[in-house]
Structure 1
Amino acid sequence: MSQEPSNLLIVDDLPENLQALDALIRDDRRVVYRAQSGEEALALLLDHEFALAILDVQMPGMDGFELAELMRGTERTRHIPIVFVSAAGKELNYAFKGYETGAVDFLYKPLDPDAVRSKVSVFVALDQQRRETQRQVAALERSRREQEVLLKELHATQQELQRSLRMRDEFMSLVAHELRTPLNTLFLETQMRSLQVRKGNLAAFDAEKLSAMVTRDERQIKAMIRLIDDMLDVSRIRSGTLSIRPAQVELMALLERVVSDLSLQAAAAGCTLALTPHAPVAGCWDEFRIEQVIVNLLTNALRYGGSRPVEVSVQDAPGQVRIDVRDQGRGIAPEDVQRIFEPYERGARNGEPKGLGLGLYISRQLAQSHGGELSVQSKPGEGSVFSLTLPCPEAPAASVQAAA
């Protein structure tokens, strides 16, 4: 039961009557408001909720019946129980008129104290029960809303779990696929060499052919190492243990070396790879990690560029430098722009997924760990521009940890 007191309204034009009635009904669980006219009573009714209104019938100006009619005509006050009191004789039939206006009782003066206290106690108890019921209903409604929120969160969690399970299964399938290709090549090479050895055909292992074999083996082994390194990098990023070791780096020399190293891959893809000339740009970065990002962006551009030219350019401004890798491929749909930076997501724009879908995720994390950013601008059919923006601090900074 509520511990808040119930409000009672008593209306009488005589102060002594108000004082006597107040003394009769007041206690710790009640707050009694007095009004000497209908107008004063209406003002109180607008400001407070009342458990009971005790109205004197005969008052100058607005009498008790008129006040009751106004109360019954207003949504805010029509539920308040009304008890009329009157000093007029019963022959005037005021009681009938009182009940007709919606009163719950009619008392004649002089009042019976026990009867008055009893009736007030009943209506106070009803008011307490009503308010407690309202509180319980409100609590149930809050509980219902909280349950709805929890159900939505549970549903979202279930969907995320299902997505994680799908990603896990797809990831395992991709790992098996990506590792099987170089392993199958190495296995076939080993089988062929074993066959030549068994036949005694040592001419198959002359210097030129042996060099080609070693080159092919290195290429397949490096492919597997890259896959394993990507998986390790994701683990380090998520655990916050991927260390960045800044040192002074000349960016244009790094880009020239990477473009030169990838020129054969560009030729195999049937396109050209060009670096726009630019003055030397020095900065304090982890050279190995920046090269890792650039190689990933160029590899993607060659893979998805539709055998069209790929351009690398540098734009510098006070305090920062931006490397743009531009291709002229199919572009990226707007709904996929953020998705491709998530782990295990792949562009798959040529119909067949390649790689584990970790490159852009790792590259963005590496950019952010340097205090920079990796972004993309693309429209379907118009190609893509991936931009790596890096700060150019004046002096080497201490080693930092990549953001998880």
Structure 2
Amino acid sequence: MSSPTPEANILLVDDLQENLIALEALIRGPGRRIFTARSGDDALSLMLEHPFALAILDVQMPSMNGFELAELMRGTERTRTIPIVFVSAAGRELNYAFQGYESGAVDFLYKPLDPHAVRSKVSVFVDLFRQRQELQEAQVQLQRAVAMRDDFMSMIAHELRNPLNSVYLQAQLRRKMLSSPKAPDTQAMQKMVERDERQIRSMVRLLDDMLDVSRARTGKLAIVPAEFDLAASAQAVVEAIQEQANATGVQLTLAAPESLRIVGDEFRIEQVITNLLTNALRYGGGKPVVVTVGLRDDLREAFVSVRDQGMGIAPADQERIFEQFERTEGAAQVAGLGLGLYIARQIAQAHQGRLEVRSTVGQGSEFILSLPLPAPASPA
């Protein structure tokens, strides 16, 4: 979606109110905001408060004439780059135009004004202003993209280094055990293999997450719908993560009906539940985590809720955390790339469902995956 066209501010400065009214009527248009001032002091105050695409200054004003105002503008950082067009009722023989250009003006107009010429000149400067604004916005976006890339590469290196180091050290230890004159400890070797498998699965999951982000952004996130039991899927995910919960001392419980059949991609839905549970263990502060599966008959949808009792999420962060590489405040010491919730929401939306969060800082968070139920069968 393209960003809205920036509004262009135009400043008119003349000591006569009737001149301001006439000039404003001449250049008013959509996307333009007209400011008027009847003295140089008032004009400077406005220029210090607002960015302007153009300033049209009357030359002959009491107290401070247009040339003096232009000199002050050129000497102030905030107003230095505002284009100036002078307007004068004096005859050409006074050669005000030369003085105006010396003061830094981009154009000089004599009264009576040519309406077509005035409108054309104003349009040129408004277009130039908008182009500068768009260029500045593009530069900001580019800098942000470069910073995100650098942060991403740093996170990837960190996330991959730990499991790779672990696998490498385990391999070195096995090499030492095998070269020992004693028979290798089969049980110890088995535990090492299991640890290797966990670390390798961790790296594979990291790579899968990155691939899923790419697929989601290009609209190629594969969804293969079929009828399956959501309650059984939630049970399978909880059982798979139970060992991790036990290792961290987290009490993990599931409340679900005996069966709840829906239509969707079972693998992808389990991926969402896994991401939500993994986050709950990471950010739950070691406190109990509850998974609930149920129905909302009034909305014709099933839901899976994952509730923790951890740090909670501030209201300002509750939408931001669903973006790529975004994480809640206070999560800097917790492993992760900030991709899981983005992918989970993309999967929910691909199922015509929703992924929402309810949270209070210091009181934990509840993530709710809502999925539509299949339409009831038509009577024969």
Say whether the 8 Å CA contact 2:305–2:368 is kept in structure 1: yes
Amino acid at match of 2:242: S
Query: In structure 2, do the counterparts of structure 1 residues 132 and 331 end up closer, same or farther at CA, with 3 Å as the change threshold?
Result: same
1:78-157 equivalence runs, <5 A: 133-157=114-138
Alignment of 1:169 with 2:150, yes or no, is yes
Query: Which stretches in structure 2 are left out of the alignment for 5+ residues?
Result: 1-109
1:180 to 161, 172, 177: 161
After superposition, the C-alpha distances for 1:302-340 in whole angstroms (9 at most, x for unaligned) are 110111111111331242112111111111112211221
Q: Measure how far apart 1:161 and its partner are.
A: 0.9
Q: Distance in 2 between matches of 1:245 and 1:155?
A: 43
Match of 2:32 in 1: none
Alignment of 1:288 with 2:267, yes or no, is yes
Match of 1:313 in 2: 292
Match of 2:277 in 1: 298
Q: Measure how far apart 1:275 and its partner are.
A: 1.1
Amino acid at match of 2:114: T
Q: Distance in 1 between matches of 2:287 and 2:154?
A: 31
Q: Measure how far apart 1:148 and its partner are.
A: 2.5
Say which SS state the counterpart of residue 257 (structure 2) adopts. Answer: coil
Q: Measure how far apart 1:353 and its partner are.
A: 4.1
Alignment of 1:260 with 2:239, yes or no, is yes
Amino acid at match of 1:215: E
Q: Distance in 1 between matches of 2:230 and 2:349?
A: 18
Match of 1:246 in 2: 225
Say whether the 8 Å CA contact 2:289–2:307 is kept in structure 1: yes
Say whether the 8 Å CA contact 2:302–2:370 is kept in structure 1: yes
1:389 to 363, 366, 370: 370
Q: Distance in 1 between matches of 2:255 and 2:306?
A: 11
Match of 1:229 in 2: 208
Q: Distance in 2 between matches of 1:304 and 1:315?
A: 24
Q: Distance in 1 between matches of 2:173 and 2:245?
A: 30
After superposition, the C-alpha distances for 1:350-375 in whole angstroms (9 at most, x for unaligned) are 44141211100000000000111111
Q: Measure how far apart 1:249 and its partner are.
A: 0.9
After superposition, the C-alpha distances for 1:62-97 in whole angstroms (9 at most, x for unaligned) are xxxxxxxxxxxxxxxxxxxxxxxxxxxxxxxxxxxx
Alignment of 1:195 with 2:168, yes or no, is no
Q: Which moved more, 1:349-358 or 1:277-286?
A: 349-358
Say whether the 8 Å CA contact 2:256–2:294 is kept in structure 1: no
User: Between Structure 1 and Structure 2, whose CA radius of gyration is higher?
Assistant: 1
Q: Measure how far apart 1:381 and its partner are.
A: 1.3
Q: Distance in 2 between matches of 1:194 and 1:185?
A: 14
Say whether the 8 Å CA contact 1:346–1:354 is kept in structure 2: no
2:357 to 360, 376, 391: 376
Q: Distance in 2 between matches of 1:200 and 1:210?
A: 16
Amino acid at match of 1:316: L
Q: Measure how far apart 1:159 and its partner are.
A: 1.1
Q: Distance in 1 between matches of 2:139 and 2:376?
A: 48
After superposition, the C-alpha distances for 1:106-151 in whole angstroms (9 at most, x for unaligned) are xxxxxxxxxxxxxxxxxxxxxxx97872222222223323333222
Q: Distance in 2 between matches of 1:248 and 1:181?
A: 39
Amino acid at match of 1:238: R
Q: Distance in 2 between matches of 1:198 and 1:280?
A: 53
Say whether the 8 Å CA contact 1:325–1:386 is kept in structure 2: yes
1:263-278 equivalence runs, <5 A: 263-278=242-257
Q: Measure how far apart 1:165 and its partner are.
A: 0.4
Q: Percent identity?
A: 47
Q: Measure how far apart 1:197 and its partner are.
A: 2.5
Alignment of 1:354 with 2:330, yes or no, is no
Q: Which moved more, 1:371-380 or 1:277-286?
A: 277-286
Query: In structure 2, do the counterparts of structure 1 residues 191 and 360 end up closer, same or farther at CA, with 3 Å as the change threshold?
Result: same
Alignment of 1:333 with 2:314, yes or no, is yes
Query: In structure 2, do the counterparts of structure 1 residues 140 and 270 end up closer, same or farther at CA, with 3 Å as the change threshold?
Result: farther
Q: Which moved more, 1:252-261 or 1:316-325?
A: 316-325
Q: Distance in 1 between matches of 2:294 and 2:120?
A: 61
Say whether the 8 Å CA contact 2:252–2:290 is kept in structure 1: yes
Aligned length: 266
Q: Measure how far apart 1:210 and its partner are.
A: 2.2
Q: Distance in 1 between matches of 2:176 and 2:188?
A: 15
Q: Distance in 2 between matches of 1:183 and 1:348?
A: 28
Say which SS state the counterpart of residue 165 (structure 1) adopts. Answer: helix
Q: Which moved more, 1:337-346 or 1:272-281?
A: 272-281
Say which SS state the counterpart of residue 338 (structure 2) adopts. Answer: coil
Say whether the 8 Å CA contact 1:251–1:283 is kept in structure 2: yes
Match of 2:3 in 1: none
Q: Measure how far apart 1:386 and its partner are.
A: 0.7
TM-score (norm 2): 0.66
After superposition, the CA RMSD in angstroms is: 2.0
